[in-house]
Amino acid sequence: MAIVVRRIERAIRTQLPGQGKKKQSTLLPQYNQKTPPCTDSCPSAEDIRGYLTLIAQADEYGRTPEMATQMAFNALTDKNPLPATMGRVCPHPCESGCNRGAKDEPVSINRVEMAIGDFGIGNQLKFKPLAEKTGKKVAVIGAGPAGLSAAYQLARRGHQVTLFDQMAEPGGMLRYGIPAYRLPREVLAAEINRIFELGVEFRPNIKVGKDLTLDQLKKDYDAVFSGIGAWTGRKLPLAGIEAPNALTGVEFLLAQNLGKAPKMPAKVLVIGGGDVAYDVARTCRRMGALEVSIVCRETLELMPATQEEIHAGEAEGIKLYPGFTPKTVHNQAGQVTGVEFLKVELGEKGENGWPIVTEIPGTEFKVETQLVITAISQSPNFDGLEVLHHENGWTGLANNFGRVSLEDKIWSGGDITRKLGLVTEAVGDGRIAAEEIDAFLKGQEYKPEPKKKIVKHQSMKLDFYQKTQRNLISELEPVQRLQNFDGYVLGFSKEQLLAEASRCMSCGSCFDCDTCWSYCGDSAIKKMPKGKHYEFVWDKCIGCNKCADECPCGLIDMT
């Protein structure tokens, strides 16, 4: 349960004879469970509060830590089948919404997720189908996070899923983009295999649009989901950049993950300010580069890379030059030898969505390099899939659930619909599309669960909760982790997992703190058996509002 300062034990007040009847309010209290902001901020819509409190309250419900963690695994994977993966690669937007951040520090949701996922792998936990076989067939194009998520949700609902991918192994950018030191391949393989054990058929080395047409899939299958991703790296629009030692971030990471990376020189220049730029730079350091520089247009505050990546890169010796734009590429004997940059100021966004750039004369500087890698953006390859290529350069949608057109049986999600996005967004897209496909195959209208009110910290009693320090994850020292591509994040111990889960304040959901019961002077609140919390006794309640005022988690409303 949530860590609290005190538990109030106050005698129930009785009404003294002769004092008359107390004033009755027109409003009465109700227990209304609400959506916590962590879940509202999670593109995968995970039941974060649910799995945190399952672990935190294990002892109260007579469960062993192992029983509670398995229950947490089941709750988490209802929405996201890749918890150990997401716990390593997600930039955790959920934590930006965590109400505990207004008290001390957000709960380390991402690393709790990693611990639960690792527990699932270590204990060989399996997924259970939700429905009997339906006889319906669905084709999924692309075995990245969107496709894997869609395949998982469809298979557990009883549909036969065939997953097509152009590569030899599944995972998409999880396998061929994200470096192994961030996402160990044995972790990814274990989580994907668990999806395949539901009966998903994987057909590798097939590029739909070339080896197999989309029309053929539409003919052979009852529905089609497209999650082809964005595998083409954007190059700098500068003369001289077309050289053998100039690559895009996508090209470089793909080659490295296939064991075909170029020989690593001493000096490397990476252009870009996102996580891909850091994936490239940190990979180069592990491959032996002695001097790696990152240069980007954004200021340090505006860089899209996570703070964790920036700090890790600094610890690993990567030099960062924010606020500069490339102007001139220097060549010698057909090779890039350096790039000249100019300091810029970023203004408001223009019509194309990019900030207006103002160059500052006289601020030129040159970075000498033997290898230049641009990680500035990516785009999809729609060869043979032109019907999915809309005028905006990506795949447009006809509704909020991934339907490409209301007249056709094609859905889509992930990078190609978001113009690039997060892994957690792709997983959420795959799930939502799968839910509508499931309804479509049953001849029903898809109706998502109605959204509950979001509980904010302003409606909670934060003083009720004790200040606690965020548990920090263990990592190998930079000098050790630069020696290889092994995973360097060591994870929570069992004790740390319990301590961090217990920092959850159970926002908008009862955690049996007894506050409402203790403050009620009219015996209008009845304690129920464990797990059922409390009930109002309406003929005794006068609507004094005290229970709602004092409820720490914002559960009670006066209506």
Question: Residue 295 belongs to a domain with what CATH number?
Answer: 3.50.50.60
Query: What is the per-residue pLDDT for 23?
Result: 58
Instruction: Please check the confidence at residue 21 and state whether its pLDDT lies above 60.
Output: no
What residues does 246 pair with on adjacent strands?
372
Q: Is the dihedral of CA 373, 490, 421, 485 positive or negative?
A: positive
User: Percentage of residues in the chain with pLDDT exceeding 70?
Assistant: 95
Looking at residue 100, the DSSP 8-state letter turns out to be G
Rounded average pLDDT over 4-27: 50
Query: What is the per-residue pLDDT for 16?
Result: 41
| Cβ atoms < 10 Å from Cβ of 48 | 29
The first and second tokens of residue 536, run together, are 């109002």
Residues 159 and 223 reside in one and the same domain: yes
Name the pLDDT band for 3 (thresholds 50, 70, 90).
low
371 within 8 A of 221, measured Cβ to Cβ: no
Residue 428 lies in a domain: yes
CATH of the domain at 85: 1.10.1060
As to burial, measured by CB atoms within 10 angstroms (0-12 exposed, 13-18 middle, 19+ buried), residue 58 is buried
Sequence letter at residue 488: Y
Query: What is the per-residue pLDDT for 150?
Result: 98
User: Percentage of residues in the chain with pLDDT exceeding 90?
Assistant: 90
For 460, residues 6+ apart whose C-beta sits below 8 A from its C-beta are 99, 505, 507, 552, 553, 554
Number of domains in the chain: 4
DSSP result, 389-408: --TTSS---SSTTSBS-TTS
Instruction: Please check the confidence at residue 98 and state whether its pLDDT lies above 50.
Output: yes
Instruction: Please check the confidence at residue 64 and state whether its pLDDT lies above 90.
Output: yes
Q: Which of 342, 377, 412 is the last residue of a domain?
A: 377
Q: Could you report the per-residue pLDDT of 254-264, keeping only the tens digit for each?
A: 999 999 999 99
Instruction: Please check the confidence at residue 19 and state whether its pLDDT lies above 50.
Output: no
Sequence letter at residue 77: T
Residue 132 lies in a domain: no
Rg (CA), the chain: 27
Q: Give Cα separations from 382 to 6, 230, 386 (angstroms).
A: 60, 10, 5
Stated length of the chain: 559
DSSP result, 306-331: -HHHHHHHHHTT-EEEESEEEEEEEE
Name the pLDDT band for 47 (thresholds 50, 70, 90).
very high
Q: Could you report the per-residue pLDDT of 462-472, keeping only the tens digit for each?
A: 999 999 999 99
Residues 97 and 182 reside in one and the same domain: no
Query: What is the per-residue pLDDT for 148?
Result: 98
The first and second tokens of residue 462, run together, are 């934060």
Q: Which residue has the higher pLDDT, 10 or 504?
A: 504
Residue 480 lies in a domain: no
Name the pLDDT band for 85 (thresholds 50, 70, 90).
very high
Residue 529 lies in a domain: yes
Rounded average pLDDT over 399-408: 94
Q: Could you report the per-residue pLDDT of 199-232, keeping only the tens digit for each?
A: 999 999 999 999 999 999 999 999 999 999 999 9
Per 3-state DSSP, what percentage of the chain is helix, strand, and coil (rounded to 5)? 30, 20, 50
Instruction: Please check the confidence at residue 8 and state whether its pLDDT lies above 70.
Output: no
**Does this model's pTM top 0.85?**
yes
Residues 226 and 170 reside in one and the same domain: yes
Residues 248 and 180 reside in one and the same domain: no
Q: In 3-state terms, what secondary structure has residue 259?
A: coil
Residue carrying the six token digits 């409606």: 459
Residues 148 and 194 reside in one and the same domain: yes
Residues 328 and 458 reside in one and the same domain: no
Cα–Cα distance, 181 to 313 (Å, whole number): 13
Query: What is the per-residue pLDDT for 2?
Result: 58
Phi, psi (degrees; rounded to nearest 5) at 368: -80, 140
The terminus-to-terminus CA distance of the chain in angstroms comes to 28
Residue carrying the six token digits 């009404």: 15
Instruction: Please check the confidence at residue 243 and state whether its pLDDT lies above 80.
Output: yes
| Cβ atoms < 10 Å from Cβ of 116 | 28
Q: Rounded to 10 degrees, what is the CA torsion of 293, 299, 305, 310?
A: 50
Query: What is the per-residue pLDDT for 495?
Result: 95
Q: Which of 461, 479, 501 is the last residue of a domain?
A: 501
Residues 75 and 112 reside in one and the same domain: yes
| Cβ atoms < 10 Å from Cβ of 540 | 12
Residues 284 and 353 reside in one and the same domain: yes
370 within 8 A of 266, measured Cβ to Cβ: yes
Sequence letter at residue 105: E
CA neighbor of 491 nearest in space, from 121, 193, 190, 192 = 121
461 within 8 A of 2, measured Cβ to Cβ: no
Query: What is the per-residue pLDDT for 393?
Result: 81
Residues 262 and 371 reside in one and the same domain: yes
149 within 8 A of 429, measured Cβ to Cβ: yes
CA neighbor of 280 nearest in space, from 303, 299, 264 = 264
Helix 249-257, helix 275-286: angle, nearest 10: 50
- Across the chain, mean pLDDT equals 93
Instruction: Please check the confidence at residue 192 and state whether its pLDDT lies above 80.
Output: yes
Q: What is the residue range of 278's domain?
A: 233-377
Name the pLDDT band for 347 (thresholds 50, 70, 90).
confident
Q: Rounded to 10 degrees, what is the CA torsion of 328, 374, 234, 42?
A: -140
Q: Could you report the per-residue pLDDT of 355-380, keeping only the tens digit for each?
A: 788 999 999 999 999 999 999 999 99
Residues 196 and 315 reside in one and the same domain: no
- Range list of H helices, 442-514: 478-481, 494-501
CA neighbor of 337 nearest in space, from 237, 235, 244, 234 = 244
Query: What is the per-residue pLDDT for 357?
Result: 85
Residues 257 and 221 reside in one and the same domain: no
DSSP result, 497-535: HHHHHTT---TTS-----HHHHH-SSS-EEE-STTT-EE
Query: What is the per-residue pLDDT for 4?
Result: 47
Cα–Cα distance, 453 to 461 (Å, whole number): 17
Phi, psi (degrees; rounded to nearest 5) at 286: -70, -20
Q: Could you report the per-residue pLDDT of 255-297, keeping only the tens digit for each?
A: 999 999 999 999 999 999 999 999 999 999 999 999 999 999 9
Rounded average pLDDT over 300-311: 94
Residues 366 and 277 reside in one and the same domain: yes
